[in-house]
Amino acid sequence: MNTKYRVPILAFLCCIIFCMLACPMCAAPYEDIPQTTEEIHAASQEILRSEILQYCSANYLKEDINHLSADQLAEAINYYPEYPRQITDSTGTVVTIVKPLKRIVAYNFHAMGALDAEDLVVGVANSALQDGCVVSAIYDKVNIGGGGPYEPDFELILSCKPDALLTYTELGPGKDFFEDRMPAGVPVIRLDCIRPWSLVTEMNKLGYLVERTERSTAYEEWHTRWMDEIDRRLATIPDDKKMRVFVDIWSTSFTDRSNERRTAGGGQWYSYGIYATDGGGINVAEDLTNPQGTVDIEWLAQQDPDVILGVSYTGSYDSDDMSELSTQHDELLSHPALQEVPAVKNKRIYILSYRYTNGLTYPAARARVAKWLYPWLFADIDPSAIHQEYLTQFLGSSYDVTEHGVFSYPD
């Protein structure tokens, strides 16, 4: 071989080998969350070994590493092989539990209800009380305040003598309020259970931590069954027949200017654009990079969307006032600049409550959007029945979603 080609060829081969080696790292991280008894026992052995090595490394090798205390290890050994349990929460923090949790302050409560773990909760955020009509056990908990822009009462949290605090990754107080102030040994667990793509993973993690893996497995089965069914039907839509959708995010409250709306490009605003694409549509603002997500009304008119899908930060189980959603609908329908837009001309404007989309009821909300976009494909599927199935099966509630609540508009 000519020597002048050797270096480039070697470099090329090195690159190929590097890429092959790097491939597993590029792939989405697979998190093996223990669910069966055998998996839990195997995991606890692995975790305990690792924690013992870290403890000994700190104490005998004087390494500066995070490790469980001798008391925590003694607790974990006392409950072995059920404990220790360990997850990486949604902020990437490793959370280790050394004994059964019995006094959780759930600033984020809703998943605890679905896991039938209300009995482990001692305190909830004020905002959780609006779900009391569905999960009555909430009324028996200490109201720690907070919710929305308000901070909870930290003294009330401490008075609950919690053994863990469950909260969101970004909603509500941050590290300086919770992690930095909680007593030593009381973990802060940040799992949202509100984003469509991480519902199952987070439910499985939480189910594992609170000894409710049967429930989290049941949720995964229910979630997968509906998501697969929707996928199967949407797969029959050719790309050139897909609906062009504009996602209108709470614009009514966000801006007083009538010539401006707020939307979501790929990866913005908790990827609200996923409600369009997951429903089988094309997000007309997919390539938008404006961090605020604001667009001029003329820009919207130029996109000629077939459907406008509104997302509203209103709606709940404890309200029957549909005007919370219809205001946004009517505003879009009557906007002078949008009168030639197909979505307006054909009255294909739909509004979703965030309480419906941002949570464990997502398969029902997704079915609702898919049916709005392609009614002929989903004629035999009733999204309200899916929603009702969730309430009955996972919350054990007799609440009737066809009679009460504000979830979507106009149907």
Partner 1 sequence: MCRNFCMVFYRRTFALISCFTCLIILMCPVTADGQQITRVVSPESPASGGLVTVTLTMPPSFFGGVIEIIPEGFIFEGTSHPSDAVKKAGQTVIFAVTGEDEINYTIRMPDSGCGYLNGNWENLGEKTSGTIPTTLLSTPGADTSKCTGVKQSPGFLLYTAIFAVCLAAGCAIMRRWRR
The residue behind tokens 């003694």 is 74
Q: How far is the CB of 28 from partner 1 (least distance, A)?
A: 24
Q: Would you say 15 or 70 has its CB closer to partner 1?
A: 70
Binding flag, residue 249, partner 1 (CB under 8 A): no
> Which range, of 75-83, 158-166, 224-232, 292-300, touches partner 1 by CB under 8 A?
75-83
Is residue 271 close enough to count as binding partner 1 by CB under 8 A?
A: no
**Contact residues for 124 (Cβ-Cβ < 8 A; gap 6+):** 105, 106, 107, 109, 138, 141, 142, 143, 144
User: Which of 55, 154, 177, 299 lies at the binding interface for partner 1 (CB under 8 A)?
Assistant: 55
Residue in 46, 119, 140, 228 binding partner 1, rule: CB under 8 A: 46
> Which C-beta is closer to partner 1: that of 46 or that of 400?
46
Our CB check for partner 1 shows the closer of 55 and 313 to be 55
By CB under 8 A, residue 28 contacts partner 1: no
Residues 336-395 that bind partner 1 (CB under 8 A): none
Per DSSP, the residues of 247-272 read: EEESHHHH-S-TTEEE---TT-GGGT
Task: Decide: helix, strand or coil at residue 373.
Answer: helix
Quote the least distance from Cβ 207 to partner 1, whole Å.
Answer: 24
49 binds partner 1 (CB under 8 A): yes
> Minimum distance from CB of 75 to partner 1 (Å)?
10
CA angle 215, 159, 89 (to 5 degrees): 40
Smallest separation, CB 103 to partner 1 (Å)? 24
Please state, in angstroms and rounded to a whole number, the distance separating the CA atoms of residues 312 and 395: 24
Nearer to partner 1, 9 or 56 (CB): 56
Residue in the structure block whose two tokens are 């997968």: 224
Candidates 56, 65, 94, 385: give the one binding partner 1 (CB under 8 A): 56
The answer to whether residue 42 forms part of the interface with partner 1 (CB under 8 A) is: no
CB of 249 within 8 A of CB of 269? yes
48 binds partner 1 (CB under 8 A): yes
> Between 75 and 324, whose beta carbon lies closer to partner 1?
75
94 touching partner 1, by CB under 8 A: no
The Cα–Cα gap between 45 and 58 comes to: 20
Query: Under the criterion CB under 8 A, does residue 185 sit at the interface with partner 1?
Result: no
Q: State the alpha helices, DSSP H only, in 27-153.
A: 37-60, 70-78, 110-114
Q: Please pick, from the candidates 35, 57, 255, 271, the single residue that binds partner 1 as defined by CB under 8 A.
A: 57
Q: How far is CA 317 from CA 312, 353, 405, in A?
A: 14, 11, 4
* Residue from 277, 254, 279, 250 nearest 266 by CA: 277
Q: Is 79 in the site for partner 1 (CB under 8 A)?
A: no
Question: Total number of residues binding partner 1 (CB under 8 A)?
Answer: 20
Task: Give the number of other Cβ atoms within 10 Å of residue 183's Cβ.
Answer: 9
**Residue in the block written with tokens 């009737």:** 400
Which region, judged by CB under 8 A, interacts with partner 1, from 51-59, 121-129, 350-358, 377-385?
Answer: 51-59
> Tokens standing for 82?
């059920």
Q: Kindly indicate which of the ranges 69-77, 200-208, 268-276, 337-345 contains the residues binding partner 1, using the contact rule CB under 8 A.
A: 69-77
Query: The tokens 């997850």 sit on which residue?
Result: 87
Min dist. Cβ of residue 45 to partner 1 (A): 5
Alpha helices (H) in 103-212, listed in sequence order: 110-114, 154-159, 199-209
Interacting residues toward partner 1 by CB under 8 A: 45-46, 48-50, 52-53, 55-57, 59-61, 63, 70, 73-74, 77-78, 80
